[in-house]
Structure 1
Amino acid sequence: MASRTLLLAVLGAATASELQIPLFSQQGQSAAGNSLGKPLINTDYLQASIKIENLLDRAKDLYKIAQTSEDEYSHPTRVIGSEGHARTLEYIYSALEGLGGYYTLSQQPFPAVLGKVYESRLVIGHEVPESASPMSLTPPTAHKQPVYGNLVLVANEGCDASDYPADVAGNVAFVLRGTCSFGTKSQLAGKVGAVAAVVYNYESGEVSGTLESPTPDHVATFGLSGKDAGPILKKLKAGEVIDSIAYIDAEVKQIQTTNIIAQTVEGDPDNCVMLGGHSDSVSEGPGINDDGSGSLTLLEVATQLTNFSVNNCVRFAWWAGEEEGLLGSDYYVDVLPEEENMKIRLFMDYDMMGSPNFAYQVYNATNAANPVGSEQLRDLYLDWYSAQGLNYTFIPFDGRSDYDAFIRNGIPGGGIATGAEGVKTKEEEAMFGGKAGDWYDPCYHQLCDDTGNVNSTAWLVNTKLVAHSVATFALSFDDFPERTKASTLGADEQPTKYHGHRLVL
């Protein structure tokens, strides 16, 4: 009876002090036999402890933190390397430190590449294509000045040195997107002496991509839509000579940044449920939805979890450098010993939990295409939405967020989201409300991603679902597939066309 009373007290409570639970020593034993003297995790009670007021208060804190970058960036941001990001890390770590030793905390510093484009311009013939945009992590043009040359068509998809004709040297390589990474295309163009490169799309849409890891052979590289490339391609194939001017003033530099990891002291350390969100924003804005909403959801769930005992360890991660190409999560998994890899039963990604024009999106992670267990996690989300009488929709599991390194290295993964720059359909308007034809997040990667850019209903619903996912696996992995020996894909294999929000293929 006493245990039941204690559990009922959790309803609506935010902290242990509000619960008025007697404090137990680390050596004390509860009726359930756990070392912390707390009731065993229960999904209903953990969900009930999630309050939108707490989330919104944290969002206000995060926006104030983003404002500390204004001296350097002239606007609020939490991009890696900024004061706003440094203080974001301090905020998260300090909050976790105040949770009474419930977690073992660690900071994982790692080198990160930060790229900034200050100015850019591409002129092809007598036209300035509207869709031309510099690739992320592109180097500048020579001496940060305009360079001139003819546009030279590269054979095939520009993935082999033999695709680049000799006359690319001193000119601008015109390369079709596909098969290999943008970084590979830029590097091959640079090796044969191109002064710049333009990667054009085989589809009508624009190309917003990243060169990923910088090399000395990368050249200034633009993306160009298939719509703008079509007439140019026709002229080149007809033998016309097209001159071009490329200009990029950019900086690519290496900095140090940090992941934050918190793992429950209690729970089986050989069977961990892991979840993560990213602590950084893009340089263009404060990132309160992307991914303040996800990182603060994790912080609130981690806070409320301290009212309970767990059977399996729970490991929270706040990744740095996600916006620069999933740098933090890549680093974490890359340096993880195989025996530690095997202790992670699954990884759950929570990125953008409260988009204003939201849809309840579930990554369509299947066992056929991903590590076994990914589909069971997907179905947990589906079952929960259905139980609440809520609609949901599937989105591709295509490498756009921090789950990518985990599934590449044999760890089951999945997650939920509420939408980024994609356009809501009429069918989704009927399912979720909002406005068809608009982006799910009209302020995606913009200055207006502030405290007014989160939908409270979606954020609260999804934070409760995150709590449910944690509680389910912190209690038991019964009926969840056992891990088999981790299988790592070859370094040159690309199972996903995205790596973060930018295309890599």
Structure 2
Amino acid sequence: MPRPAEAALLSTSLIPTDNSTYEALPLVDSESLQALITHEALNASALELFAIANASVKEYGHPTRVIGSGGHYKTLGWIEKQLKNMSDYYTYEKQEFKALNGMVFNHSLSVNGVKVLDEKPFQLTPAAHVYWADLVVIDNLGCEDIDYAPLNASLSTNTVALIKRGECPFGNKSSLAGKWGASAALIYDPESDEIITGTLGTPTNTTVGTLGISKTLAESLIAQKNAGVPLKINMFIAAYVGFIKTKNIIATTIHGDQDNIVALGAHSDSVEAGPGINDDGSGTISLLNVAAQLTNFKINNAVRFAWWAAEEEGLLGSNFYAYNLTALENSKIRLFMDYDMMASPNFEYQVYNGSNELNPPGSEELKQLYIDYYESKGLPWVLIPFDGRSDYVGFIETGIPAGGIAAGAEGKNSQNGEVLDKCYHALCDDVTNLNWDAFLTNTQLIAHSVATYANSLEGFPLREPPKVASSADVPYKFNLHGNFYIM
């Protein structure tokens, strides 16, 4: 893939010339690095990050760290400030790129003149102003043109499409609804009564204003339609969608073998709906704490910490970085580890189910590292699909082995059947939405992963030649990519 003209690597900190202090440090080992990770430091960072999210209250009416907000700009500044304090150990780069940004100012929904109180707008939804439109129930999951035959059969030219969640990205459903004549769309989850939300991703010429509603409301509307009750929809969304500049921050150790780089990342942004202290403030904090404590040790292999922007808009920052690596830069990255949502309140210890058969060689070794760690602590763990949900995607697609852990999003805990993170993509994802046992354990596991590979890559598979990604032929492609499953 060609390097876009807007790619820009900005400031880097200066490399010190005196290595005597560094040479006096002990060689990194896992137990020593883990011992420096504390509840107190994680808690202090979480409180700071929530205060930063409040910088957006005046503009958004609530705390958020969505890209383009004061909360996100201050998050980036907070990360940079800490890296500057470690300038004798790390250099860092700021990589600017363009990303879609949207904002919903207000919205409303009514059925036959009765206001619906529980509905949520999708991120990157366009505006909508629909008056007294007919509701049309879409067949199947709304992922194929044929599913929209009911719109084609409708005698009305003023319609709102009611669509189930599932199989394809939300944006595909909204765009297909508009393509077949709907003025707006409503989406619901047939498996849960949670009011659905998410991102529509990059808009098309036919994307329409889209709201999420509950299963209860959707099933009531469907039952009324089947009984022949006329349903008229009023739907209003005041919103805009446009491009902004945002940036990744990438810090690399000055020392260690620069031809064998151990890379790891978390995303620095939240959704618009809330402050994102678990998603992914927890990963952001974990990386900063591990990076700070690693400065107490010598390393054999270089370590690269990355904070990606615009993950919630479709993995934009990490993909931009991975696709813009030269073949030489790519070949130096031996592995990538993704850390997204470390402290979910009703957590599971989740390990991405990577394999060397389906993914770049080394992905399975990363999976086993995490499993071995949890088992050494007597902790239960579960495998979760390695299906393109988070920031490892661009690395896998360009031939870099990857893995990672998570504590859970909107799914249910396999032990108790309750939602893993009740505040996933919601306003209540604040400092009260963190499980401190999971946060500490997972951050110590991150420290273990860094110490293990910073010390030695012996036995870890050698890199295969870098893959050159293109829109026509992307290796290691996932079925679910981008704006449907996003953490």
**Gap change, CA 1:110 and 1:150, over 3 Å in 2:** same
Q: Are 2:244 and 1:255 equivalent residues in the alignment?
A: yes
**Gap change, CA 1:123 and 1:485, over 3 Å in 2:** farther
**Gap change, CA 1:167 and 1:196, over 3 Å in 2:** farther
CA contact (8 A) 1:409 1:489 kept: no
Which residue of 1 is the match for residue 39 of structure 2? Answer: 52
**Gap change, CA 1:447 and 1:196, over 3 Å in 2:** closer
Which of 412, 415, 420 matches 1:440? 420
**Gap change, CA 1:148 and 1:368, over 3 Å in 2:** farther
RMSD: 3.3
Which residue of 2 is the match for residue 318 of structure 1? Answer: 307
Which of 473, 482, 497 matches 2:480? 497
Which residue of 2 is the match for residue 483 of structure 1? Answer: 463
Task: Give me the whole-angstrom Cα distance separating, in 1, the residues matched to 2:214 and 2:56.
Answer: 33
Which residue of 2 is the match for residue 350 of structure 1? Answer: 339
User: Could you tell me the TM-score, scaled by structure 1's length?
Assistant: 0.80
> Which stretches in structure 2 are left out of the alignment for 5+ residues?
1-15
Task: Give me the whole-angstrom Cα distance separating, in 2, the residues matched to 1:76 and 1:178.
Answer: 30
Range that drifts further, 438-447 or 339-348: 438-447
CA contact (8 A) 1:131 1:228 kept: no
Q: Are 2:166 and 1:186 equivalent residues in the alignment?
A: no
- Correspondences of 1:166-177 after superposition (within 5 Å): 166=152, 169-175=157-163, 177=165
Deviation at 1:180, TM superposition (A): 4.3
CA deviation profile, 1:333-354 (whole Å, cap 9, x unmatched): 2322333223222211112222
**Gap change, CA 1:437 and 1:336, over 3 Å in 2:** same
Q: Are 2:358 and 1:378 equivalent residues in the alignment?
A: no
Task: Give me the whole-angstrom Cα distance separating, in 2, the residues matched to 1:407 and 1:86.
Answer: 29
**Gap change, CA 1:160 and 1:81, over 3 Å in 2:** same
CA contact (8 A) 1:204 1:227 kept: no
Which residue of 1 is the match for residue 354 of structure 2? Answer: 365
Which residue of 1 is the match for residue 134 of structure 2? Answer: 150
- Correspondences of 1:74-473 after superposition (within 5 Å): 74-123=61-110, 133-141=120-128, 145-152=129-136, 158-159=142-143, 164=148, 166=152, 169-175=157-163, 177=165, 180-199=168-187, 203=191, 207-223=196-212, 229=218, 243-425=232-414, 427=415, 436=416, 438-473=418-453
CA contact (8 A) 2:123 2:272 kept: no
Which residue of 1 is the match for residue 7 of structure 2? Answer: none
Deviation at 1:410, TM superposition (A): 2.7
Range that drifts further, 464-473 or 304-313: 304-313
Please give the secondary structure, in 2, of the residue aligned with 1:77.
Answer: coil
CA deviation profile, 1:428-483 (whole Å, cap 9, x unmatched): xxxxxxxx454333443344433343333322222111011011111222222222
Corresponding letter in the other structure for 2:49: L
Corresponding letter in the other structure for 2:449: S
Please give the secondary structure, in 2, of the residue aligned with 1:322.
Answer: coil
Please give the secondary structure, in 2, of the residue aligned with 1:324.
Answer: coil
Which residue of 2 is the match for residue 431 of structure 1? Answer: none
Corresponding letter in the other structure for 2:85: G
Structure possessing the higher radius of gyration over alpha carbons: 1
Task: Give me the whole-angstrom Cα distance separating, in 1, the residues matched to 2:174 and 2:472.
Answer: 18
Please give the secondary structure, in 1, of the residue aligned with 2:312.
Answer: helix
User: Could you tell me the TM-score, scaled by structure 2's length?
Assistant: 0.83
Range that drifts further, 286-295 or 123-132: 123-132
Which residue of 1 is the match for residue 12 of structure 2? Answer: none
Which residue of 2 is the match for residue 17 of structure 1? Answer: none
CA deviation profile, 1:127-146 (whole Å, cap 9, x unmatched): 877875433211111xxx33
Task: Give me the whole-angstrom Cα distance separating, in 1, the residues matched to 2:181 and 2:409.
Answer: 38
Corresponding letter in the other structure for 1:66: A
Corresponding letter in the other structure for 2:402: G
Task: Give me the whole-angstrom Cα distance separating, in 1, the residues matched to 2:243 and 2:308.
Answer: 17
Corresponding letter in the other structure for 1:320: A
**Gap change, CA 1:270 and 1:209, over 3 Å in 2:** same
CA contact (8 A) 2:367 2:404 kept: yes
Which residue of 1 is the match for residue 48 of structure 2? Answer: 61
Share of identical aligned residues, percent? 49
**Gap change, CA 1:469 and 1:155, over 3 Å in 2:** same
CA deviation profile, 1:272-305 (whole Å, cap 9, x unmatched): 1111112222333333222222111111111111
Task: Give me the whole-angstrom Cα distance separating, in 1, the residues matched to 2:392 and 2:364.
Answer: 14
CA contact (8 A) 1:371 1:413 kept: yes
**Gap change, CA 1:423 and 1:340, over 3 Å in 2:** same
CA contact (8 A) 2:339 2:405 kept: yes
Task: Give me the whole-angstrom Cα distance separating, in 2, the residues matched to 1:224 and 1:448.
Answer: 19
CA contact (8 A) 2:130 2:233 kept: no
Task: Give me the whole-angstrom Cα distance separating, in 1, the residues matched to 2:218 and 2:472.
Answer: 31
Deviation at 1:261, TM superposition (A): 0.3
Corresponding letter in the other structure for 1:298: L
**Gap change, CA 1:424 and 1:107, over 3 Å in 2:** same
Deviation at 1:181, TM superposition (A): 3.3
Corresponding letter in the other structure for 1:195: S
CA deviation profile, 1:353-398 (whole Å, cap 9, x unmatched): 2233333222222334433322210110111111122222223333
Task: Give me the whole-angstrom Cα distance separating, in 1, the residues matched to 2:221 and 2:465.
Answer: 50
CA deviation profile, 1:164-217 (whole Å, cap 9, x unmatched): 554565433445555543323333333444312344556566653422112332
**Gap change, CA 1:219 and 1:491, over 3 Å in 2:** farther
**Gap change, CA 1:42 and 1:242, over 3 Å in 2:** same
CA contact (8 A) 2:344 2:438 kept: yes
CA contact (8 A) 2:113 2:234 kept: no
Task: Give me the whole-angstrom Cα distance separating, in 2, the residues matched to 1:496 and 1:326.
Answer: 15
CA contact (8 A) 2:66 2:272 kept: yes
Q: How many residues align?
A: 463
Task: Give me the whole-angstrom Cα distance separating, in 1, the residues matched to 2:428 and 2:210.
Answer: 28
CA contact (8 A) 1:208 1:503 kept: no
**Gap change, CA 1:226 and 1:78, over 3 Å in 2:** closer
CA contact (8 A) 1:40 1:310 kept: yes
Corresponding letter in the other structure for 1:308: F
Please give the secondary structure, in 2, of the residue aligned with 1:290.
Answer: coil
**Gap change, CA 1:51 and 1:258, over 3 Å in 2:** same
> Which stretches in structure 1 are left out of the alignment for 5+ residues?
1-24, 428-435
Please give the secondary structure, in 1, of the residue aligned with 2:54.
Answer: helix
Corresponding letter in the other structure for 1:41: V
Task: Give me the whole-angstrom Cα distance separating, in 2, the residues matched to 1:211 and 1:249.
Answer: 16
Corresponding letter in the other structure for 1:495: F
